[in-house]
Each structure stands twice: as C-alpha cells, then as structure tokens.
Amino acid sequence: MGVSSSQGRRGVAPSQAEVRSPGVMWHDVECGPYRADLALWRELADAETRRQPGAILDVGAGTGRVALDLLRADHRVTAVDTDRELLLALGERAAGMALETVCADARTFDAGRGDFALCIAAMQTVQLLGGSSERVAFLRRARAHLRPGGLLACAIVTDLEQFDCAAGDAGPEEDVGRFAGDLYVSRAIRVRARIASILIVRERRVVRQGHREAQLPAERDVVELARVSRSQLEREGREAGLRSVEARTVGPTDEHLGSVVVMLRA
Ligand SMILES: C[S@@+](CC[C@H](N)C(=O)[O-])C[C@H]1O[C@@H](n2cnc3c(N)ncnc32)[C@H](O)[C@@H]1O
C-alpha cells in the first residue's frame, strides 16, 4: 500500500516467467515502485551488522521490496507476513539467497530466535496493526527477537492530505503494472482522516489483453491506517522495554509522501 502524494503515472516492470496471483500483482503495483526508503534500510542494516554480525527481520515484508534489496546486499533476512501468497512470491524471487519466511501475525509471531541485529517495519506496517495495545504487542515481539542493543526501525506517516475524487479533487496519478498482457491499474480515489485513523480508498481495474478498457468492473480496496505520532510510538516502545534513539526521516518524492522512521533499541 503505497501512500502516493502527487503526479506521475508509476509502473512496475513486466515480469519474467513468474506466476503471480492478483494479490501479489496488486501488492507489486501499489508498493513495488516505492524506492525512496531503500537507502536508509541498507544503511541501517550495514551499520547494525558491522557492530555485530546478525540477520535482519523484515516485519510485514510483503513480496519483499525491502527484503530483496537487503538480500542482494548479502544480508540474511527473515521475512514475516500474514499473507502466505505474498511470502511465496518473495520466496521464489529470493531463490538462492539467504531468506527465511515466517507466515505469522506481527503481534504474536515467533521466529525462533532472539539474535536479530535489526528489525524493520517499513511503509506504515505498524499502522496496520490496530491501536496502541496491538502496537505494543508487536513491539514486545520485536524486542524479544532482537539481540541486546539491536535496533527496531518503524516507518510511519503522520500527515496525509485529504481528498475525494468523487467531490472533484484531482488525486494522485495511477499506479500501473502489466502482467501476462493484462494491465493492472490502481488509483487512490479518496483519503479521509478520522479521529483515530486515516482511510485510504483505492480503485483497482484490470484491463484484459485485447479488450477495451474497463472490461472488468473496478473494485474498491480500503486500507485503514491507525494514527500514531512519533512520540506516542516512542512511549509505546518504552512500555515494551525499548529505548528510543534519534528518529530518521525519509523525504517526500514527486510521487510519494515522506515518512518518519521511529528508532527503538533493545
Ligand atoms: C504496506 S505493506 C508493506 C510491504 C513491504 N514491507 C514494503 O515495504 O513494500 C504492509 C504489509 O504488512 C502485512 N501485514 C499487515 N498486517 C499484518 C500483521 N498483523 N502481521 C504481519 N504482517 C502484516 C501485509 O500483508 C503487507 O504485506
């Protein structure tokens, strides 16, 4: 679930011989093109493993946008996600590299070890877990998996501009991917801020090869991000036995909003 900010039709490259389910395809289309945070995850992984060698835990890994980048840089990665299909796609893409996958919930997972150097929750994954008690449950699980002094880094968005295409707002451009000749088109059509959460509504269309556009009816996908500030997440980290260190930021790009990366040490 990319959080887009403005113009520019974004696209994912045509795939090779791989089989992709619609869930994998939508994940790739909506999350795949985002690259602005990768340098930070690499920097953190390099620094933490230099301090002491260890593996990286990627929570809410999806199809591995972050995990694959770290694997290519010779890091060992354990990817946790509730979505088995996404993890299967990641497993195929990471063939021959040092990946483990764990299909489990971030709030209750057990990867069987407590010596990870770094735990990453990229792209607002921590805001998908529910409210404060659910986040604290995740933070406790992350802490249990980190070696003493290990680092947990969570990217959050705190401000999203509201819009509603049905009310005439322009909204961001589409994310587009082509697979097996079909075009997958996803567009955020509404962002609405509530007291405790932000709703992001996307319209998804598949345009089949050789047919006219809009051949298949559009579907709606709704994501609810819990609102959480940096200071609140740091407080929750303390509750889970983690101490906060200086937060980092990922700047906005022409196509995506920036994020704050809350940093907590075991
Ligand atoms: C916004 S995507 C981020 C994917 C990937 N980390 C990236 O940055 O491209 C969030 C991911 O979190 C996963 N997820 C959502 N709730 C989860 C939970 N309770 N436990 C583990 N994973 C979860 C989703 O299946 C999805 O793959």
What's the gap in Å between 149 CA and the centre of ligand 1?
25
Q: How many domains does the chain have?
A: 2
Kindly give the number of the ligand 1 atom that is closest to the alpha carbon of 32.
9
Mean pLDDT score across all residues of the chain: 91
102 and 130, same domain (yes or no):
yes
Task: Please report, for the domain that includes residue 51, its CATH number.
Answer: 3.40.50.150
Supply the range of the domain harboring residue 56: 34-158+228-265
Q: Taking 50 as the threshold, does the pLDDT of residue 7 lie above it?
A: no
Q: For residues 80 and 192, state if they share a domain.
A: no
List the Cα angle 254/247/200 in 5-degree steps: 45
Q: Which of 125-134, 140-149, 214-223 is predicted with the least confidence, judged by mean pLDDT?
A: 214-223
Same domain assignment for residues 51 and 112: yes
Radius of gyration in angstroms for the set of CA atoms belonging to the chain, rounded to a whole number = 18
Nearest CA to ligand 1 atom 14: 60
State whether 138 and 44 are in the same domain: yes
**Residues 177, 47 share a domain:** no
Q: Answer yes or no: do 123 and 238 share one domain.
A: yes
64 with 75, same domain?
A: yes
For the record, the structure tokens of 54 come out as: 């260890």
Nearest CA owner, ligand 1 atom 27: 62
Residues 44 and 114 in one domain: yes
Decide if 241 is inside a domain: yes
CA-nearest residue for atom 13, ligand 1, is 60
Each residue of 169-197: pLDDT tens digit? 998 899 999 888 889 999 999 999 999 99
Please choose from 12, 63, 125, 136 the residue to mutate so as to test ligand 1's pocket, defined by most ligand atoms within 8 A of CB: 125
User: Are residues 56 and 178 both part of a single domain?
Assistant: no
Residue 17 has pLDDT above 50, yes or no: no
Residue 238, domain member (yes or no): yes
- pTM for the model stands at 0.92
Model confidence pLDDT, tens digit, residues 63-76: 999 999 999 999 99
Q: Name every protein residue with a CB atom under 6 angstroms from any ligand 1 atom.
A: 1, 31, 60-62, 65-66, 80-83, 86, 105-107, 122-125, 128-129
pLDDT score, position 212 = 58
**Domain annotation covers residue 190:** yes
Residues of the chain with pLDDT > 90, as a percent, come to 79
- 101-139 pLDDT, tens digit per residue, is 999 999 999 999 999 999 999 999 999 999 999 999 999
> Mean of the pLDDT values across residues 38-61?
98
Residue 164 lies in a domain: yes
